[in-house]
Structure 1
Amino acid sequence: MSSSFRESSIRQCTLRESMFAMISKCQFATDIWLTLEKEFLTKSRAKTLHVKSLLQNTKKDNMSIHDYFLKMKSYAKNLSSSGVVITDPELLNYILDGLDSKYDATIINITTRLESKVDMISIQEAQIVLQKLELRLEKAHTVMNTMIHNEFHSSSANVPSISVDNENKKLQSDQSS
């Protein structure tokens, strides 16, 4: 096979310049495939490590429990498509690690059930429990805000209004003594 024919055949394929530079030195088709495989495996491993890092380090922060679970499940699915299997208990542990301290009591409960051989908890059950807790926390937060709002506005009604009479240089109060 002539060198010019090989180059024109390779150039007809859609390859980036960097890829073409890597395989242009190859003599045989097997060399080309091995070179491409190494390149894609390297990129695939890097992507896998990145996604695994995201799975290990993602925090719930301001996401809802529902959105947080979806994100974490998508990381696990992405890893699975790369050949890295994340079991449900592993995924649940990653999820629990990303929750803050207001979830501690529930985390202990879920972890205990996760380690149980008799009454093991599924990801779906854990999500339901955490969503119920999230609703309770939101309700408590709303009640607290309402109480603070009402207390602030009811106490401000009792604050006397004071004005200055510039002509007589006296303080005047709207509240009768």
Structure 2
Amino acid sequence: MKETLTHESGAFVNFRHFAFAERHAHAFRWLDVKRFRLPDPTVPDRDLLAALVAHEQFRDDYAGGGVDPGGTRHGPYWLRLVTPEAYGSIGRDGAARLLETWAEQYGPLPGALAGALRREAYAPLAAADSVHHLNGLGEDEYHDWASVHGEFHELVLVDRAARRLTLLVAADD
């Protein structure tokens, strides 16, 4: 049986909307959040990752164009090369450190920005049963204008109790 996910909602945390951007030249950073309803909480993670990769909302180059149903890019990668096997399991603590290192690399965050990240990233991360990190791809899989992203971090959070899968993309332009 092919599993499907239902896109529920999303959020976009743009660092430029906070006082942080006024103090730091490297404030062209953002967190994109896409939330999906799980078809069944017992579906194995690999099948959920396959359903995510196949979903229309996954067809996003994260370079300002938004979701493109006919798109061929996902972040800096050619979409056809992003498979469930490209994701590695990462613990909640490791994922939190990855996000913190990325978010705070230029200094402490203002309270409002830290609160937005807590709400949109860290709270769902703390509730997740499993966390997957897109880390099985490298420069050989980059598309023709992948260099638009300075950094690109992707996490997939599976929360079986809430029947939710959350896709977190943290990147620099």
Would you call these one fold, judging by a TM-score over 0.5? Answer: no
Normalized against structure 1, the TM-score is what?
Answer: 0.25
Normalized against structure 2, the TM-score is what?
Answer: 0.26
> Between Structure 1 and Structure 2, which shows a larger proportion of strand residues?
2
Larger relative contact order, structure 1 or 2 (CA cutoff 8 Å, min sep 6):
2
